[in-house]
């Protein structure tokens, strides 16, 4: 079956495409998995990723007072877009490679390296283009809101966004690929660990790169604007090489031309989230410390679910055909109450939300104030917001994955960008609502609101 072709219908056009087929000896993890086994595999990577995001949140809380962040609002708007881009590209990469690993296609060393190199080149193409688009949208938004356009600011923002996206994506792409290879060798299901571990350093790497590149370019702005132009030109000068590698690689050739819509739409959603973040950060000084954690934990957990759902479909049927017992839309409660494997995973992931966020919230408060105390009302609203965010994302993940599969679109390349972007937007809005509700309550002391 490996070389068979089938027809996929999109609109009125019929395409002959090579459908992905499992190998003769797929790596079968599902038969061995229970609530406890999934929980143990997922818990430590998620906690590790969350603690790294705590560090990113503390770091963001410190750098938001830097001159470049206060004087150039486009940089603040870029934060969710670039962190989301990191998540979109690396988590999608992790999902693709995890599916190939579960189908047994990474056992051959030559194929393994071909798969990794092709995907790293693809991610570089996507990072540079989306980095540029993110900066242009941020510039446009600020221009509309503040009725101003400064060429030197715009060049600096474009260079900053492209450099950050490219460097962060390369580092994280190498890290993600290494995690998949190690998990295959250790006989661990990469769907359970790849996305959270890859994300564990993603936010802090992206934020550090963004802050220092932006600060450097800001301080030479006006005297060495040619450096911003040089950075932009250099990245696009290397693009033909990345395109050539991805185009001539059988694992990435089709994605190079068809995988853009999800990450572009996700970038736009995240940019609107950045606009919301810019406004809420000005209203609540302590909010920025929690923002990467809320967004990151929600994105990590739902990406595990999306990756597992996609792998299950690849194992059971051909692209474009849904199993009869897997309708696209199901009642929301069945995501958590049915006997299916995806429901079991949903219960595991939802069960991790409260203990995980409790750990992260107290660590944030301790690192900021030297005290583990936190207002009980804030804690209640915060946990409710986190639970609501993850529950909504898990339901949306099920619908999107099965919808794309039925449409003949590989969910490994399309579902995660939408989910992480929606997670970012939901996280920012729900966190802002949490602070607003706590502030509006007349029964609490001012200490209930976390400050710097």
Mean pLDDT over residues 315-324, rounded?
81
At residue 19, the pLDDT reads 43
**pLDDT tens-digit readout, 418-441:** 888 888 888 888 888 888 888 777
At residue 14 the predicted structure's pLDDT band, cuts being 50, 70 and 90, is very low
**pLDDT tens-digit readout, 33-49:** 677 777 777 787 778 77
As a whole number of angstroms, the distance between CA 157 and CA 340 comes to 47
Higher pLDDT pick, 56 / 387:
387
At residue 285, the pLDDT reads 66
Q: What is the DSSP letter of 250?
A: T
At residue 93, the pLDDT reads 79
Using DSSP's 3-state secondary structure scheme, residue 149 falls into: coil
β-partners of residue 16 are 7
* 23-27, 261-265, 316-320, 381-385: which is most confident: 381-385
Higher pLDDT pick, 197 / 111:
111
* 105-119, 155-169, 252-266, 406-420: which is most confident: 155-169
Q: Among the listed ranges 43-57, 116-130, 296-310, 400-414, which one has the minimum average pLDDT value?
A: 43-57
At residue 217, the pLDDT reads 84
**pLDDT tens-digit readout, 333-353:** 888 888 888 888 889 889 988
Reply yes or no on whether the pLDDT at 234 is more than 60.
Answer: yes
At residue 6, the pLDDT reads 44
272: closest CA among 393, 144, 137, 391?
137
As a whole number of angstroms, the distance between CA 372 and CA 361 comes to 9
Reply yes or no on whether the pLDDT at 2 is more than 50.
Answer: no
**Tokens of residue 449, six digits:** 């609101």
At residue 66, the pLDDT reads 81
Q: Look up tokens 């998990």; give the residue.
A: 183
At residue 244, the pLDDT reads 93
At residue 450 the predicted structure's pLDDT band, cuts being 50, 70 and 90, is low
Higher pLDDT pick, 110 / 27:
110
289: closest CA among 209, 422, 378?
378
326: closest CA among 336, 33, 316?
316
**pLDDT tens-digit readout, 78-116:** 776 776 666 667 777 777 887 777 777 777 778 788 888
Predicted TM-score (pTM) of the model is 0.70
Residue 155, CB half-sphere, CA atoms under 13 Å: how many? 18
Reply yes or no on whether the pLDDT at 392 is more than 90.
Answer: yes
At residue 22 the predicted structure's pLDDT band, cuts being 50, 70 and 90, is very low
Percent of the chain scored above 90 by pLDDT?
A: 7
Domain ranges of the chain: 5-448
At residue 62, the pLDDT reads 79
Reply yes or no on whether the pLDDT at 130 is more than 60.
Answer: yes
User: Is the distance from CB of 366 to CB of 436 less than 8 angstroms?
Assistant: no
User: Is the distance from CB of 123 to CB of 94 less than 8 angstroms?
Assistant: no
**pLDDT tens-digit readout, 249-289:** 888 887 777 767 777 777 777 767 766 776 776 677 667 67
**Tokens of residue 35, six digits:** 């609530």
Reply yes or no on whether the pLDDT at 24 is more than 60.
Answer: no
Q: How far apart are the first and last CA of the chain?
A: 60
Mean pLDDT over residues 115-139, rounded?
86
Reply yes or no on whether the pLDDT at 395 is more than 90.
Answer: yes
At residue 452, the pLDDT reads 55
User: Is the distance from CB of 305 to CB of 394 less than 8 angstroms?
Assistant: yes
At residue 85, the pLDDT reads 67
At residue 384, the pLDDT reads 92
Residue 132, CB half-sphere, CA atoms under 13 Å: how many? 13
């Amino acid at each position: 079956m490996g070389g068979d072709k089938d027809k996929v219908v999109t609109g009125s056009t019929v395409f002959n495409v090579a459908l992905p087929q499992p190998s003769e000896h797929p790596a079968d993890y599902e038969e061995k998995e229970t609530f406890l086994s999934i929980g143990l595999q997922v818990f430590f990577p998620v906690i590790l990723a969350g603690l790294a995001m705590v560090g990113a949140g503390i770091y963001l809380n410190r750098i938001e007072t830097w001159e470049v962040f206060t004087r150039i609002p486009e940089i603040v708007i870029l934060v969710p877009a670039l962190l989301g881009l990191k998540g979109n590209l690396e988590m999608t990469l992790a999902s693709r490679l995890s599916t190939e690993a579960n189908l047994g296609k990474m056992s051959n060393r030559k194929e393994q390296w071909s798969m990794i190199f092709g995907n790293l080149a693809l991610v570089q193409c996507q990072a540079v283009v989306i980095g540029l688009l993110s900066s242009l949208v941020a510039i446009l938004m600020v221009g509309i809101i503040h009725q101003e356009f400064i060429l030197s600011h715009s060049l600096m923002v474009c260079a900053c966004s492209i450099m950050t996206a490219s460097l962060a994506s390369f580092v994280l792409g190498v890290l993600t690929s290494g995690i998949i290879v190690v998990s295959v060798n250790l006989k661990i299901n990469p769907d359970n660990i790849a996305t959270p571990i890859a994300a564990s350093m993603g936010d802090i790497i992206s934020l550090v790169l963004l802050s220092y590149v932006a600060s450097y370019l800001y301080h030479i702005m006006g005297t060495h604007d040619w450096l911003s132009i040089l950075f932009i030109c250099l990245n696009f000068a290397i693009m033909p090489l990345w395109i050539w590698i991805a185009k001539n690689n059988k694992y990435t050739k089709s994605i190079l031309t068809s995988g853009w819509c999800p990450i572009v739409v996700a970038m736009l959603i995240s940019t609107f989230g950045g606009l919301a973040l810019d406004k809420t950060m000005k209203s609540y000084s302590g909010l920025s410390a929690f923002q990467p954690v809320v967004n990151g934990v929600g994105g990590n957990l739902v990406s595990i679910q999306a990756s597992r759902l996609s792998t299950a479909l690849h194992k059971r049927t051909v692209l474009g055909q849904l199993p009869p017992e897997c309708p696209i839309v199901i009642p929301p409660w069945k995501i958590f109450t049915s006997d299916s494997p995806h429901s079991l995973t949903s219960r595991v992931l939802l069960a991790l939300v409260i203990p995980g966020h409790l750990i992260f919230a107290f660590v944030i408060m301790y690192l900021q104030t030297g005290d583990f105390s936190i207002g009980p009302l804030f804690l209640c609203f915060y946990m409710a917001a986190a639970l609501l965010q993850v529950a909504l994302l898990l339901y949306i993940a099920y619908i999107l994955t099965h919808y794309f599969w039925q449409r003949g679109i590989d969910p490994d390349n399309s579902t995660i960008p939408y989910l992480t972007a929606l997670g970012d937007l939901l996280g920012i809005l729900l966190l802002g609502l949490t602070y607003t509700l706590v502030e509006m309550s007349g029964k609490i002391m001012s200490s209930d609101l976390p400050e710097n």
